[in-house]
Amino acid sequence: MTKKSIIKLEKVWKTYTMGEAEVHALRGIDLDIKEGEFVAIMGPSGSGKSTAMNMVGALDIPTRGRILLDGKDISHLTESALAQVRGKKIGFIFQQFNLLPTLTAQENVMLPMIFQGIDAEERKERAAKLLKMVELGERINHKPTELSGGQQQRVAIARSLANNPEIILADEPTGNLDSKTEATVIDFLKKLHEKEKKTIVLVTHDEEVAKVADRIEHLRDGQIIRTQKNSKRS
Amino acid sequence: MWTDYFRLAFKTFTSEKKRTLLTLIGIFIGIAAVVSLISLGQGLQAGIRGQFDVLGTNKIFVTPGSRGAFNPANTIKLSQKDVDAMRAVSGVKAVSAMIYKIAGVEYSGERKYTFVIGIDDSEESFEKVMEAFGVTINQGRGARGTREAVIPYRFVIGDFYKKPVRVGDRLKIEGKKFRATGAVSQVGNPQDDTNLYITMDSAKELFNVGDDEIDYVMITVKDGEKPATVAEQIKKRLRKTRNVKEGNEDFTVQTTEDFMKTFNTILLIVQIVLIGIAAISLLVGGVNIANTMYTAVMERTKEIGIMKAIGAKNSDIFMIFLIESGMLGVVGGILGLGAGAGLSKLVSYGARKTGWAMVQSLFPWYLTIGAILFSFVVGAIAGTLPARQASKLKPVDALRYE
């Protein structure tokens, strides 16, 4: 049984103009991510994996080609329309955690819900529940500076789930963590995939980390050079 | 949604205490200056209007010279003939002539100079003329004959002479003995609160002046007559008796309303100038807010990127920054309002202590609401461009910003 595509990149090009020169960050990428899949995008720096992540995460639109999210073409949407799509369908986890320093853990988790117009009571309740899920129930009133790196990343995981998105996009989520905390964060991602049935796109340059995925897409010079199915999983 | 924007703005304030405080001071000073000036201006207007209300709107004042101000050094005087002509105008109920002189007044061995006003009580009683003049005798009675005087407020409270003067005490005006038969209540300005009142007969004898050296005439208009119309008639008559052409009058006829108008115009000009100056500081405060907001947008580029990544629309970012900047304005405005109120109270207190009871500080509701609203608008306008800049940031670029 073939699963439904949730994100599909069709011959996507991204070209930046640097003065006179044109730099092609992506050169006609085709990528099809199915609902409930765990996909890792790997590649050395400069391979275009960040640009690819921006496309998958609806953070940017392609110069050429199409991006279909849930079958809907989002390649020509305005920034605000993209924001809406992101807010509802995609949860982000970043390498540098990217929590707002002035807000507490709970407030950080509540933030994406504010932009979706969810009322305050529900926000509070859901944020507390999500933080409990990432085992930070005791620390909901702590600010990011009062938390360790691993704890901050767990807050970010909770935040990515705030609007119950279908897709979780993790950009080098363990890049700033030691190997022990790395393992817990990866465990959480696995849990999200297996128990919550989330589609997970993991961008990394770490082979070990990428192994948790069902499929690894290797990127080089703006193109996918190899697709590797993970036989241990699925 | 709105309350969330406010909460977010508030979070930033508390985390950037020093900068927030410095930015607030800019608006604070401007609003404090504007508020205190408006408050005192309103108070002064109300105080003077109160004096005119006591005087009544059925009065006409005639002074020699074309400037319309009482000036005892004025060489032009009104004559008895002028007074009689005024009396003959229909619509005139009563005419009171007055003489203004500066005289040495001695009390308990201490001699000081002050205004002595001779009041014509031939037509109406001394008390009635005083009352019509807007001055109330609150102790004793008016003066009769040529050896009695009514003392002013500052004589009674003892801040003119070393010793307070009491009703019944004796004083010497230009060496002649007088007895204080009454005292008047406070007028509200230190000058008028030292005026000594005697009868016209006393004044003529004391200063050796004839019938034709009148400094000031106050006319009461009959009920139902329009003061302005009667004033026109008086002007016509006076031009005839004084033999002057229209436009070359050597006298001034003013109704209470004219006084009010003149006064309001002067006050308005003074207020516009002062508030204009204060507004410049407010403008500087606004620029300061804009500067702070630009810095904030720069510093928080990454935050903006994060918020956009997790679903903030351009309009959300715009509103967050606009409200933050508006709140800088409002908080500065509220503090400024408090300081302005304090300043205004302090000035009016000081003025009252020095005899200027008419300088009050008033806070009409629109001043309070207006100041807060205005400071929000200043903050919001100052924040518009930075907020726009923030909202236009591309999430990809903003996220990469370090």
* Residue-level length of chain B: 402
Chain B residues closer than 8 Å to A88 by CB: 311
pTM: 0.75
Residue whose tokens read 């005697």:
B198
Q: Are the CB atoms for B215 and B39 separated by under 8 Å?
A: no
| Average pLDDT rounded to a whole number, residues B292-305 | 89
Q: Where are the domains of chain B?
A: 2-52+261-400, 66-249
Q: How much of chain A is in helix, strand and coil states, percent to nearest 5?
A: 35, 30, 35
The closest CB to that of B313, out of A84, A100, A162, belongs to A84
Between chains, do B312 and A103 touch, taking CB under 8 Å as contact? no
- Backbone torsions φ then ψ of A22, nearest 5 degrees: -105, 130
Q: Is the pLDDT of residue A223 over 50?
A: yes
Chain A residues closer than 8 Å to B12 by CB: 102
Mean residue pLDDT across chain B: 88
State residue B71's pLDDT score.
62
pLDDT, tens digit, 9 for 90 and up, residues B231-286: 999 999 999 999 888 888 889 999 988 888 888 888 889 888 988 888 888 888 88
The C-alpha angle with vertex A11 and arms to A9 and A17, in degrees rounded to 5, equals 105
pLDDT, tens digit, 9 for 90 and up, residues B338-372: 999 999 999 999 988 887 877 888 888 888 999 89
Q: Are the CB atoms for A217 and A224 separated by under 8 Å?
A: yes
Q: Does B397 touch chain A (CB under 8 A)?
A: no
State residue B73's pLDDT score.
65
State residue B346's pLDDT score.
93
CA-derived radius of gyration, chain A: 18
Which chain A residue has the Cα nearest residue B9? Answer: A102
Provide the edge-to-edge strand list for the sheet that holds A167-171: A90-93, A167-171, A199-204, A38-42, A215-220, A223-229
Which chain A residue has the Cα nearest residue B300? Answer: A100
Which residues lie across from B179 on neighbouring strands? B148, B170
Q: Are the CB atoms for A158 and A137 separated by under 8 Å?
A: no
Per-residue confidence at B173, pLDDT binned at 50, 70, 90?
very high
B203: phi > 0 → left, psi -120 to 50 → alpha, else beta; which?
alpha
Structure-token pair, residue B341: 């109120």
pLDDT, tens digit, 9 for 90 and up, residues B29-40: 888 988 998 898
Q: Does A101 touch chain B (CB under 8 A)?
A: yes
ipTM of predicted assembly, 2 dp = 0.91
Which chain A residue has the Cα nearest residue B313? Answer: A80
Percent share of chain B, pLDDT over 70:
98
State residue B356's pLDDT score.
81
Q: Is the pLDDT of residue A200 over 90?
A: yes
Strands A90-93 vs A167-171: parallel, antiparallel or unpaired: parallel
Between chains, do A102 and B12 touch, taking CB under 8 Å as contact? yes
The helix/strand count (H/E) of chain B reads as 12, 10
State residue B280's pLDDT score.
87
pLDDT, tens digit, 9 for 90 and up, residues A125-184: 999 999 999 999 999 999 999 999 999 999 999 999 999 999 999 999 988 888 888 998
CATH (one of 3.90.550.10, 3.40.50.300, 3.40.50.620, 3.40.50.2300) for A37-60+78-229:
3.40.50.300
**Cα–Cα distance measured from residue B72 to residue A66, given in angstroms and rounded to the nearest whole number:** 94
Q: Is the pLDDT of residue B7 over 80?
A: yes
Residue whose tokens read 């990343």:
A153
Percent share of chain A, pLDDT over 70:
97
Q: Does B313 touch chain A (CB under 8 A)?
A: yes
If DSSP codes are grouped into helix, strand and coil, which group holds residue A12?
Answer: strand
Q: Are the CB atoms for A111 and B310 separated by under 8 Å?
A: yes
**Cα–Cα distance measured from residue A8 to residue A71, given in angstroms and rounded to the nearest whole number:** 8
- Backbone torsions φ then ψ of B170, nearest 5 degrees: -105, 145
The DSSP secondary structure of B246-285, one letter per residue, reads TT--SEEEEEHHHHHHHHHHHHHHHHHHHHHHHHHHHHHH
Residue whose tokens read 């767990």:
A154
The closest CB to that of A80, out of B4, B15, B315, belongs to B315
Q: Are the CB atoms for A11 and A66 separated by under 8 Å?
A: yes
Task: Provide the residue type at B70 as one letter.
Answer: F
State residue B154's pLDDT score.
93
State residue A127's pLDDT score.
96
State residue A50's pLDDT score.
87
CA atoms within 13 A on the CB side of B157: 13
Per-residue confidence at A234, pLDDT binned at 50, 70, 90?
very low
**Cα–Cα distance measured from residue B321 to residue B389, given in angstroms and rounded to the nearest whole number:** 10
The closest CB to that of A115, out of B11, B310, B394, belongs to B310
- Backbone torsions φ then ψ of A53, nearest 5 degrees: -60, -40
pLDDT, tens digit, 9 for 90 and up, residues B183-204: 999 888 888 899 999 999 999 9
If DSSP codes are grouped into helix, strand and coil, which group holds residue B167?
Answer: coil
Q: Is the pLDDT of residue B402 over 80?
A: no
| Average pLDDT rounded to a whole number, residues A34-42 | 94
State residue A3's pLDDT score.
81
Structure-token pair, residue B38: 């408006």
Strands (E), B81-238: 92-107, 110-119, 137-140, 148-151, 170-173, 176-184, 196-199, 216-221
Q: Is the pLDDT of residue A77 over 50?
A: yes
Distance between B260 CA and the closest CA of chain A, angstroms: 57
Q: Are the CB atoms for B11 and B3 separated by under 8 Å?
A: no
| Average pLDDT rounded to a whole number, residues B7-24 | 83
**Cα–Cα distance measured from residue B341 to residue B372, given in angstroms and rounded to the nearest whole number:** 13
Mean residue pLDDT across chain A: 91
Q: Is the pLDDT of residue A90 over 60?
A: yes
CA-derived radius of gyration, chain B: 31
Between chains, do B1 and A98 touch, taking CB under 8 Å as contact? no
State residue B45's pLDDT score.
84
Between chains, do A163 and B307 touch, taking CB under 8 Å as contact? no
Per-residue confidence at A202, pLDDT binned at 50, 70, 90?
very high
DSSP B164: P
Per-residue confidence at A33, pLDDT binned at 50, 70, 90?
very high
**Cα–Cα distance measured from residue B171 to residue B136, given in angstroms and rounded to the nearest whole number:** 21
pLDDT, tens digit, 9 for 90 and up, residues B94-131: 898 999 899 999 999 999 999 999 999 888 889 988 88
**Cα–Cα distance measured from residue B393 to residue A81, given in angstroms and rounded to the nearest whole number:** 15
Q: Where are the domains of chain A?
A: 37-60+78-229
